[in-house]
A and B are shown apart, each in its own frame.
Chain A
Amino acid sequence: MKALRRLITRLNACTFGHRQEERLRQEIEEHLALQTEENVRAGLSLAEARRQAVLKFGAIEAIKEEYRDQRRLPFLETVLRDSRYSIRQLRKFPIFAVTAITILALGIGASTAVYSVAKAAIFAPLPFPSPDRMVLVFEAWLGERFQPGVSNLITVRPGVYQDWREHSHCFKSMAAVQHTQATIMDGDRASVADGLLVDDDFFPTLGVPARLGRYLIPSDYGTNGSRAVVLADRIWRSRYNADRSIVGREITLNGAGYRVVGVMPPGFLPTGSGSDPQFWLPLRWDPATKYSFVLWGNRVYARLNDGVTVAQAQAEMDTVATRMRAARAGDYTFGVIVAPLDKYLFAQHERMFALLLIAVGLVLLIACANVANLFLARALERRREFAVRSALGASSATILRQVLVESLLTALGGGLLGAALSPLLTRPVLALLPAASAIPRLDQVQVDWRVLSFTLIISMIAGLLFGLAPAIRAAGGDVSSGLNARGRGNSLGRSEGRLSDALVVAEIALSLVLLVGGSLLSRAFLRLLHTDPGFRPTKCIALRLAIPNNRYGSYEVGGKNAPRQKLYYRLETSAQSISSVQVAGIAEKLPLRQFWNPWSISIEGRPPAPARDRRSLTSKRWGLPMQGDVSTQPVSPGYFAALGIPLIRGRAFDQHDGPDSPVVAVVNEAMVRKFFANEDPIGKRIVIDMTSYARRMTIVGVAADVRMEGMDSKPLPEVFWPMAQLPSANAWLVARARGDAASVANALDRIVHETDPQIAIVESSMMTQVVGDSLWRERLSTLLVGLFAGIAVLIASGGLYAVIARAVQRRTQELGIRIALGATSLQVAEMVLGHGLSVSATGVVIGSLVALTGYRLLPEQTYQLGDLPWVFAAVGSLLFVLTLIACWVPFRRAVGVDPATTLRSE
């Protein structure tokens, strides 16, 4: 308390003037007068009495000084005084200040922008209690383990979920959710929202209260209960204008009324799928399917018991799965994966953000090195000033502090400007991230206090980084040589020269690292861009349709579904009838947008595949020997032509492959390579175990391979069958236009709407766009690292130029003498260029060594070792050319030195 009270009084004293010092002076005066009187009374002469009094009092000035220090906060005052002085200094040299602040703002602004995106996407904790205790539990092929970004997770069957609940002990609670979609009508326009069906343990497991109203409670799950829905913050704002009276009102989803019981807070539960749920409905288990072992589609959230680690939970679930496999052979051929929720959502993006943060950190470092050089040059210009000040009694600590305060203020200025600039970079970055990127929480990117404190911290670190060396130089200057220095800064000591050379070497080395990284990334990007996707994206457009189950029936066990078959047929024929459409088709899946979702296949007349392929088992359900896995999808007759997928052999589907004719199949080349290496596949009969049904099909054609999972993925073995025979629940309408693909978008939109206004178009994309979006990661890293490398090279070249120019300026007299003694331009060039080239060559060598060890930070598939020599050669020559350009002006100036003038100015 005492200390606090003193602090407050002292703070006050800092702001109130000098009255207090006057008081001390008077007190001392009074004291001495009284003491003198006393001494006179004791018999001393007046002069002696006064002298004795002063002696007895002690060193008056020292007391006064200590009194001042004790009365106020000397440190704060010094800093304030230094700041005022620094601002005056910076204002006196506006070009210097503006240059330094701008360079820093580039580095700090870019860092802030990247950090603000990374923070929202992956750093910020999930918005519920103890998010690190939350896991997702998946089924998986035996022996598979959780790996971020690897699609080895299989959604859970209801029967398996019930078994887990019954037999596991490591979880406090478990909850199952199913993805669902709701068609919402606005007048006669349909739109669609993603949602989740959640069981009654879901909200308590996550433990997040509703921001408005309440979440779903057990009474909402009764069969005769009202239909309750909980809305997400986003749809509440976008569709219901953040109306607080929404709770209790009824809204219409899929043509049925639901009562809104609550609204969840923003950012609640990202799913990592790119489309976060907009609403939550009660998941009512159908008694017929509650224990089903044929329906996949549940995601299981679980909260770990206190003290249980993820590894322990995984171990327990492994034993549960082993027991179940023994007890329920046939139904239970899978293992379990326990995935930490935060890792599941964020880990796959960590590497890219780490890469971007490193790149932007390098830019900041280069900016610091550059500004350090500016300060160093200025410290030299101010040598006289520092020398005078230290001759007048300033300690070297005072000068050090003074210069440091100046650089910290500059850094702060750079930080402020950088924070203001960062949205200029954030917005385009966000625009480069398609929904397909599945990066969570991008709608929550904002500059908040966390981001600002990050900016502040990196600004201060930057200030120390670039301020310390010049400050130490300034403080350590020799007084006499400083005072003797003629004029300004024309005597650059050898060690200062070396220091600023070293800083430029560092700048060039770091730029080279960025250039190499950017080049490798862009090579990879271009290579992928020019990879043949297996279809012709130009003139091709794809519409993703949401077919309402309440009108067309859900996906039936057995695979037949007459209403959907008719709908798809109508959609395809009406799309074909548009004059600007060359050909149209319907498919379950779109290339580049799929994940490997394997189904077991049996080829008639073959024994089961050898046991080493653990996925090839005899299907107990159908009693068939299985040979391996394929990817499957139904497509309509126009599909291959619409996407421009060449047919290699046999035929495509046609209108004769109807619901009642024998089921036929087209396979791709990868499928032929895997299963029919030395045989003719045409006419072969296969059965695919779709778990709930298995139909025999006859292969009638072979299509070319298409990259289904991404441009860098290997083609999967695929089997297609006619939409008319076994239709799918999902549907993409794909059309090839006669002219520009965009020109048919409206017409297709219209025919979908005319066919059924309740069919929503979830997405409408040119296939060229789909190709571009699938490369978002490569495109983003290439553009950003490229941009950063560009900034870096600009700053570094500027730094090189400044150092060479200064060296020439410093040696003006020497050059004058040399030229007077007959040095040729060539010899002058040797001096100037030699300096520039040795600096930049050192930078290139050091940078190359760093780059050679550092390129492994890039994702493996990104770089090809064969690129490295080319990249180094290209980057090296670019830096060589830039060095020549940076040296050109100083060289011209050096050659132009007039010996007469320089020598006379001596």
Chain B
Amino acid sequence: MKEQSDVRRGTVALMVLKTLDVLGTLHGYGIARRIEQISGDLLAVNQGTLYLVLLKLEQEGAITSKWGLSDSNRKARFYRLTRKRRKRLEYETRSWEQTVRIMGRFFAAKVEDLK
């Protein structure tokens, strides 16, 4: 059970980083919306866990945050990717794509073998 959620949280973390990479500075709700739009309803179940991921990333030094004003002129916490992390993200994206490709091929092969 724990492992499963770790894997998912790991993928969410990568999504957060990619989102911030593309869109620059964004508050929690914005990140949630963006991920929701792209990933369908992966995050729809439990948006709150996003904040745990944000905290972990911040503790690791991958992102920074500060208070700012949202579009509707409300106080909100804005997150930004750190420069150091931006460089690593590229590499991580590639390696993730590779992993997905390998896993995909692996599963595909397995299904064909069974037939």
Contacts and interface: CB of A to CB of B under 8 A. Distances in A.
Interface of A: 2, 5-6, 9-10, 23-24, 26-28, 30-31, 33-35, 37-38, 56-60, 62-63, 66-67, 70-71
B74 A58 contact: no
B47 A5 contact: no
B108 interface: no
A83 B86 CA distance: 44
Contacts of A58: 45-49
Given A26-B77, A30-B29, A30-B76, A6 B48 contact: no
Nearest to B36: A56
Contacts of A28: 48, 51
B60 to A, nearest CB: 5
Contacts of A62: 48
Contacts, number: 65
A272 to B, nearest CB: 59
Given A56-B44, A58-B48, A30 B28 contact: yes
B51 A63 contact: yes
Contacts of A6: 56, 59-60
Contact of A70 (B27, B32, B56): B56
**Majority secondary structure, A binding face:** helix
Nearest to B30: A34
A60 B55 CA distance: 15
25 contacts: A6-B56, A6-B59, A23-B77, A24-B51, A27-B51, A27-B76, A28-B48, A30-B29, A30-B70, A30-B74, A31-B29, A31-B47, A35-B29, A37-B72, A57-B46, A57-B47, A58-B46, A58-B47, A59-B48, A62-B48, A63-B48, A67-B51, A67-B52, A70-B56, A71-B55
Given A6-B59, A30-B70, A33-B74, 4 more contacts: A5-B59, A27-B77, A30-B75, A35-B47
Contacts of A60: 48
* 8 tightest Cβ-Cβ pairs between the two chains A and B: A58-B46, A63-B48, A58-B48, A34-B29, A6-B59, A31-B29, A9-B59, A57-B48
Contacts of B104: none
A27 B28 contact: yes
B72 A63 contact: no
B61 interface: yes
A233 to B, nearest CB: 52
Contact of B77 (A30, A35, A56, A67): A30
B74 to A, nearest CB: 6
Interface string B1-34: 0000000000000000000000000011100110
Contacts of B46: 57-58
B75 A26 contact: yes
A377 B89 CA distance: 61
Contacts of A35: 29, 47
Contact of B52 (A23, A33, A37, A70): A70
A56 B47 contact: yes
A37 B70 CA distance: 13
Contacts of A56: 44, 47
A9 B58 CA distance: 10
Contacts of B59: 5-6, 9-10, 71
A63 B50 CA distance: 10
A67 B32 contact: no
**Majority secondary structure, B binding face:** mixed
A41 B32 CA distance: 18
Contacts of A57: 46-48
Interface string B55-81: 110011100000000101011110000
Interface of B: 27-29, 32-33, 44-49, 51-52, 55-56, 59-61, 70, 72, 74-77
B25 to A, nearest CB: 15
A26 B65 CA distance: 14
Nearest to B32: A31
Contacts of B47: 31, 35, 56-58
A62 B49 CA distance: 10
A114 B95 CA distance: 62
Contacts of A34: 29, 70, 72
Nearest to A10: B59
A35 B36 CA distance: 12
B70 to A, nearest CB: 7
Contacts of B55: 67, 70-71
Given A2-B60, A30-B74, A37-B72, A63 B29 contact: no
B50 to A, nearest CB: 9
Contacts of B60: 2, 5-6
A900 B51 CA distance: 68
Contacts of B28: 27, 30-31
Q: A26, A30, A33: which has the most chain B beta carbons within 10 Å?
A: A30
Nearest to A7: B59
Contacts of B77: 23, 26-27, 30
B77 to A, nearest CB: 5
Contacts of B72: 34, 37
Contacts of A26: 75, 77
Nearest to B50: A31
A63 B52 contact: yes
B66 to A, nearest CB: 11
B113 to A, nearest CB: 39
A54 to B, nearest CB: 10
A24 B46 CA distance: 16
Nearest to B44: A56
Nearest to B62: A2
Contacts of A2: 60
A38 B55 CA distance: 25
A371 B48 CA distance: 49
Nearest to A66: B52
Contacts of A27: 28, 51, 76-77
A70 B46 CA distance: 17
A605 to B, nearest CB: 98
Q: B44, B45, B55: which has the most chain A beta carbons within 10 Å?
A: B55
Nearest to A71: B55
B49 A63 contact: yes
A58 B70 CA distance: 23
A62 B48 CA distance: 9
A39 to B, nearest CB: 12
Contacts of B75: 26, 30
Contacts of B74: 30, 33
Nearest to A60: B48
